């Protein structure tokens, strides 16, 4: 006909609203990010209040609980992304386990089938597929909401479980699977365990440390790669500086490990900090394009805010220190008469103002502001959780001390953060200087915590984390003042950055896994409790990985998102919507079959009530992991993190010696927070016209 | 100029309701045929017959000279007739490239290890959009972040890429502002220039006139005639759309017969 229109026009003016989103903003719209932050916060919370939570003996049981829950949560999240629910999924786990056992048994009034496990297990898989097909076909054919259809299936299964168990063996406890032929073969697949105390690895802590530190270093490089503009030509001198810095860090670690003296430790710390900053600058000058130094200018108000922030942090440190040294009763006497109303009203007001401000920021139009707002809400939520914990100990002096200290420190850092944002509006140099002030305050905080607290948890771990944060902040401030932030997409850099990020995460997880799975002579001598990892966890990891691959990388994955997001559009474009949904129901029932077998091999006997009522936990885990109740958006990986969160709350509340009746209140609060966060992400992702 | 689609006295009844009757028109490659009509004029029925959602009850539809009746949207799509619906065009929470290739994802590897060739899909989507003059910075961004006009444009580019010969646009501009409508009209012309036969359905004569080569006006399920652009001044088109009076209709019907167009 005629020639094609101009290709690849210069940046279209219609794109003006689609500014390049930086690393952190892009991360924030991922569905699983809220769950990861939440998991870290909840873990930190239980870690602070329950001694077991920092140790392998506390983590492995959490993973065990998370595994069976997580396999189902991942499958349910796929179904929910596809826009449907399955209320029969909980009961199905028990049903399919019981079906397998009943097929194996050869006793009872009806004689029993007495099949070999080699036949019974595939047969129950067929039952599972049929169950999923039934759910899916009913939903698709009748056009009724899946909520109602699967609610009916739930009751049917519940009745069958009870009815058949009583009919066949006249008992509501169905066992035992180990009577079946082929048990020795299948127990390796579905029921084997790894007992930590039986596996020694003397170099464990070295591997762990190298894995964690190396992984974090790679992650830092990845973030730089994603954030800064690359140089046209790399500067080899920078590479030299970078390597020298790395060598310095290694030397510091070596010094730290070879000596025991306080002086040498401090020297090693200084060497490591300085080398870290050198390495950071070396990396930046090797790879990234520098920017002209901007004129240093401060908007009015920033110096006041900096002074105010530093003052607040100082006041916090001073007050905590003073309360500790001076007579404690005097302060309590002062407020004892109106202590409760004072704390309640003051705390509620502070919390309300802070959250309202954060939410106001979030709902604004600017992405950078949104990121700050969300960050603020998250930090405030974590801080509030700690404050509530402290509040429970209000009868002691430590409670008042913690609240005063916490509020002052938090207020100080919030004011400093505001100052940094304000300074950033006029000059990046000024912003960096304010960030330096924040870093120095963090260092002061770290050393204060080390000096004041008696428990090793705070003396070593919190101290290290806060100090590392301060070092990262200094490095970041130095480089972001001198180097240009990328403002466009660079395919190569993005690819390298995301690969490095994955590599770094893998290194960190390998380090953690080694620490969790092995023990040392010294630990056995000290008499650690017996801890074990069950094979369920491997299944959990495998199912999560498979589901993530399917969702992200296959046709079927695209179709799941499409049928959940806009079924009519999907059908219009040629996606077999009904078939896709039916297959999703079948995936859920196959997951239930797997979980049923895992439970049967773990417990050997199953109650007829097994699994009833757990379907809502699967849905909560999926929603906490960022899956929308309305379908079309979510992540399998997020759902697995959601399951870990649920497991932590199940295990953490008794571990903290609280009444476990509170567990459901806790779950409800988590669910509400997750739904609010998801809603926010949805409006972001759908921001239209 | 050969005609891609010929409709001869097409009719559609829902029970005793006559939704469409005696509609005759032609769609030519490289031309934009505008179908105008007020609400209830039978525009949606008209599209649905062309796109295979419904089947006509009388008359004949010819595709490339061959008599056809589409049983499903998929069949119509396979024959090169693609419809872009105003609200059904895209899955808003999915990325641009996933939407672009939805239902026809390029894959590599063999089953069961067959996965979507993401790099290829992304680069093809980007290149194809650029061909149409749509510049998307990152095909990974969700379609929901695009403006309404851009979404329609991506849907148009998708139909073009998958070998559509006939492109049906259902009220593409009705929910859009002035500027966004301009964007969509631009891409409509880009599709026409690539040799597609475009059917542009709208109730807005101001949007139809600048892009249309031929016009068909529907009223209460009946065609008020086919007009070439040269025979129909803009004011006339506006008046035909705006004039609700029976007298006006009668006059135009007489006029069109006098001018010797199709009816």
From the list A2, A17, A686, the residue facing B93 with the nearest CB is: A686
pLDDT tens digits for B94-131? 888 898 888 888 888 777 778 888 888 888 888 888 87
Taking residues A114-128, report their average pLDDT.
Answer: 90
Out of A364-373, A419-428, B208-217, the most confident range is: B208-217
Contact B137 A572 (CB under 8 A): no
Mutation site, B48, B103, B182, interface A, largest A CB count within 10 A: B103
pLDDT (tens digit, 9 = 90+) per residue, A147-179? 999 999 999 999 998 888 888 777 888 878 888
**Which are the contacts of A522, defined by CB distance < 8 A and separation ≥ 6?**
none
What is each CA distance from B73 to A148, A517, B38, B51, B191, in whole angstroms?
30, 56, 25, 6, 21
Q: What is the pLDDT of residue A41?
A: 77
B201-249 pLDDT, tens digit per residue, is 888 888 888 888 888 888 877 887 788 887 877 777 777 776 555 556 6
pLDDT confidence of residue A336? 47
- Among the residue ranges A104-118, A338-352, A438-452, A603-617, the one predicted with the least confidence is A338-352
Report CB contact under 8 Å: A561, B130. Answer: no
Instruction: Tell me the pairing of strands B32-37 and B58-63.
Output: unpaired
Locate B258 and state its tokens.
Answer: 């006098």
Which of the residue ranges A152-166, A383-397, B55-69 would you say has the lowest mean pLDDT? Answer: A383-397
Average pLDDT, chain A: 79
The pLDDT score that the predictor gives to residue A413 is 84
Give me the residues of B, 57-116, that contact A with CB < 8 A: 73-74, 77, 83, 85, 88-94, 98, 101-105, 107, 114-116
Contact at CB, B115 and A686, closer than 8 angstroms: no
Contact B134 A12 (CB under 8 A): yes
Confidence label for A600 from pLDDT (cuts 50, 70 and 90) = very high
Q: How far is A540 from chain B (nearest CA, A)?
A: 20
According to DSSP, the residues that pair with B108 across neighbouring strands are B115
What distances in angstroms separate CA B217 from CA B57, B60, B201, B236, B241, one per listed residue?
Answer: 21, 19, 10, 12, 8
**Each residue's pLDDT tens digit, A220-238:** 888 888 888 888 888 888 8
pLDDT, tens only, A267-310: 888 888 889 888 888 888 888 888 776 666 667 777 788 888 88
Query: What pLDDT is stored for residue A671 in this prediction?
Result: 77
In angstroms and rounded to an integer, the radius of gyration of the C-alpha atoms of chain A is: 28
Which pLDDT does position A681 carry in this prediction? 63
Q: Is residue A118 pLDDT above 80, yes or no?
A: yes
Residue A448 to chain B, least CA–CA distance (Å): 45
Which has more pLDDT, A204 or A595?
A595
pLDDT exceeds 70 at position A114: yes
Residue A585: per-residue pLDDT: 96
- Examine the pLDDT at B41 and tell me if it is beyond 50: yes
User: Alpha-carbon distance A92 to A158, whole Å?
Assistant: 9
Query: How far A500 CA lies from chain B's nearest CA (Å)?
Result: 18
Q: Could you please report the per-residue DSSP string of A249-309?
A: HHHHHHHHHH---HHHHHHHHHHHHHHHHHHHHHHHHHHB-B-PPPPP---TTHHHHHHHH
| Backbone phi, psi, residue B230, to 5° | -60, -30
The pLDDT score that the predictor gives to residue B48 is 85
Q: Do residues A471 and A477 touch, judged by C-beta distance below 8 A?
A: no
B107 contacts in chain A (CB < 8 Å):
555
Q: Work out the mean pLDDT of chain B and round it to a whole number.
A: 81
A35-49, A171-185, A569-583, B89-103: segment of lowest average pLDDT: A35-49
Q: At what angle are helices B246-258 and B234-242 packed, to 10 degrees?
A: 140
Interface of B with A in 182-201 (CB under 8 A): 183, 190, 192-195
Burial of B2 (0-12, 13-18, 19+ CB in 10 A): exposed
- CB–CB contacts below 8 A, A to B: 134
Residue A110 has pLDDT above 60, yes or no: no
Nearest residue of chain A to residue B111 (CA atoms): A554
Q: Residue A399: in which H helix or E strand, if any?
A: helix A397-426
Taking contacts as CB-CB distances below 8 angstroms, the residues of chain A near B126 are none
Say how far apart CA A570 and CA A631 lie, in whole Å.
13
pLDDT in tens, A43-95: 877 777 776 776 777 788 888 889 999 999 999 999 999 999 999 999 999 99
- pTM of the predicted protein model: 0.79
Q: How many helices (H) and strands (E) does chain A have?
A: 27, 4
Q: pLDDT class for A386, splitting at 50, 70, 90?
A: low
Q: What is the dihedral of CA A483, A212, A70, A637, to 10 degrees?
A: 20
Distance between CA atoms of A284 and A279, rounded to whole angstroms?
9
In terms of CA atoms, which chain B residue is nearest residue A563? Answer: B91
Model confidence band, residue A12 (pLDDT cutoffs 50, 70, 90): very low
Is residue A204 pLDDT above 60, yes or no? Answer: yes
- According to the model, what pLDDT value does residue A36 have? 82
């Amino acid at each position: 006909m005629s020639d094609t229109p101009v290709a690849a026009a210069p940046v279209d003016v219609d794109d003006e609203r689609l500014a390049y989103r930086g690393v952190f903003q892009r991360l924030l719209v991922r569905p699983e990010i809220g769950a990861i932050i939440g998991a870290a916060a909840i873990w930190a919370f239980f870690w602070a209040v329950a001694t077991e939570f920092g140790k392998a003996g506390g983590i492995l049981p959490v993973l065990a609980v998370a595994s069976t829950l997580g396999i189902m949560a991942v499958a349910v999240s796929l179904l929910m992304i596809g826009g449907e629910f399955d209320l029969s999924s909980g009961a199905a786990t028990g049903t399919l386990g019981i079906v397998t056992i009943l097929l194996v048994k050869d006793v009872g009034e009806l004689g029993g089938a007495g099949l070999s496990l080699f036949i019974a297990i595939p047969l129950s898989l067929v039952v599972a597929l049929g169950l999923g097909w039934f759910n899916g076909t009913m939903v698709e054919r009748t056009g009724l909401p899946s909520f109602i259809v699967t609610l009916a299936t739930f009751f049917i299964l519940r009745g069958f479980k009870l009815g058949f168990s009583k009919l066949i063996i006249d008992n509501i406890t169905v066992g035992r699977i180990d009577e079946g032929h082929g048990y020795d073969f299948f127990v390796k697949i579905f029921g084997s365990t790894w007992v930590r105390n039986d596996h020694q690895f003397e170099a464990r802590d070295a591997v762990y440390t190298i894995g964690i530190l190396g992984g974090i270093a790679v992650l830092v490089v990845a973030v730089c790669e994603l954030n800064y503009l690359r140089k046209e030509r790399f500067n080899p001198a920078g590479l030299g500086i970078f390597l020298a810095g790395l060598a310095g860090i290694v030397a510091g670690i070596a010094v730290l490990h070879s000596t025991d003296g306080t002086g040498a430790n401090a020297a090693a710390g200084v060497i490591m900090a300085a080398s870290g900053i050198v390495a950071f600058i070396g990396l930046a000058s090797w790879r990234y394009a520098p920017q002209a130094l901007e004129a240093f200018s401060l908007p009015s108000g920033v110096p006041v805010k900096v002074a105010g922030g530093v003052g607040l942090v100082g006041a916090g440190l001073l007050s905590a220190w003073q309360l500790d040294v001076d007579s404690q009763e005097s302060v309590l006497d002062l407020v004892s008469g109106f202590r409760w109303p004072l704390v309640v009203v003051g705390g509620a007001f502070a919390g309300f103002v802070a959250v309202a401000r954060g939410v106001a920021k979030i709902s604004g139009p600017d992405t950078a502001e949104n990121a700050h707002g969300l960050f603020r809400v998250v930090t405030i939520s974590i801080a509030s959780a700690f404050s509530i914990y402290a509040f429970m100990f209000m009868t002691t002096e430590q409670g008042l001390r913690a609240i005063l200290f916490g509020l002052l420190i938090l207020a100080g850092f919030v004011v400093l953060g505001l100052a940094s944002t304000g300074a950033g509006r006029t000059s990046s140099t000024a912003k960096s200087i304010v960030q330096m002030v924040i870093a120095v305050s963090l260092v002061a905080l770290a050393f204060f915590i080390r000096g004041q607290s008696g428990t090793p948890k705070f003396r070593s771990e919190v101290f290290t984390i806060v100090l590392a944060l301060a070092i990262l902040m200094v490095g970041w401030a130095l480089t972001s003042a001198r180097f240009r932030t990328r403002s466009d997409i660079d395919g190569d850099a993005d690819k390298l950055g995301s690969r490095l990020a994955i590599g770094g995460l893998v290194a960190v997880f390998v380090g953690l896994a080694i620490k969790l799975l092995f023990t040392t002579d010294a630990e056995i001598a000290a008499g650690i409790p017996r801890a074990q990892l069950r094979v369920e966890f491997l299944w959990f990891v495998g199912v999560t990985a498979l589901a993530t691959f399917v969702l992200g990388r296959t046709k079927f994955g695209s179709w799941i998102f499409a049928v959940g997001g806009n079924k009519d559009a999907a059908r219009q474009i040629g996606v077999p919507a009904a078939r896709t949904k039916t297959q999703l129901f079948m995936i859920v029932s196959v997951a239930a079959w797997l979980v049923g077998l895992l439970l049967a091999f773990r417990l050997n006997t199953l109650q007829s009530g097994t699994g009833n009522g757990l379907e809502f936990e699967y849905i909560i885990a999926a929603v906490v992991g960022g899956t929308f109740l309305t379908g079309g958006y979510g992540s399998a990986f997020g759902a697995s993190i959601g399951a870990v969160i649920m497991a932590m709350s199940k295990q953490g509340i008794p571990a903290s010696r609280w009444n476990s009746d509170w567990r459901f209140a806790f779950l409800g609060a988590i669910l509400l927070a997750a739904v609010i966060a998801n809603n926010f992400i949805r409006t972001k992702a759908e921001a239209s016209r | 100029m050969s005609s891609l689609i010929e409709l001869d006295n097409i009719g559609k009844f829902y029970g005793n309701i006559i939704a469409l009757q005696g509609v005759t028109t032609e769609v030519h490659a490289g031309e934009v045929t505008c179908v105008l009509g007020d609400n209830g004029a039978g525009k949606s029925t008209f599209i649905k017959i062309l796109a295979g959602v419904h089947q006509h009850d009388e008359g004949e539809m010819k595709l490339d000279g061959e008599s056809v009746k589409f049983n499903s949207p998929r069949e119509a799509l396979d024959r090169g007739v693609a419809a872009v619906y105003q609200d059904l065009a895209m899955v808003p929470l999915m990325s641009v490239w996933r939407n672009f290739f939805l239902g026809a994802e390029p894959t590599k590897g063999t089953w069961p290890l067959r996965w979507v060739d993401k790099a290829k899909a992304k680069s093809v989507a980007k290149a194809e959009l650029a061909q149409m003059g749509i510049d998307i910075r990152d095909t990974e961004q969700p379609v929901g972040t695009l403006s309404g006009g851009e979404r329609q444009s991506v849907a148009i580019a998708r139909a073009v890429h998958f070998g559509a010969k006939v492109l049906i646009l259902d009220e593409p501009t009705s929910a859009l502002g002035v500027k966004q409508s301009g964007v969509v009209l631009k891409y409509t012309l880009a599709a026409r220039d690539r040799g597609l036969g475009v059917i542009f359905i709208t109730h807005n004569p101001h949007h139809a006139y600048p892009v249309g080569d031929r016009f068909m006006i529907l009223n209460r399920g009946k065609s008020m005639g086919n007009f070439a652009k040269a025979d129909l001044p803009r004011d006339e088109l506006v008046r035909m759309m705006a004039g609700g009076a029976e007298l006006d209709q009668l006059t135009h019907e007489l006029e069109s017969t006098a001018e010797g167009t199709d009816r």
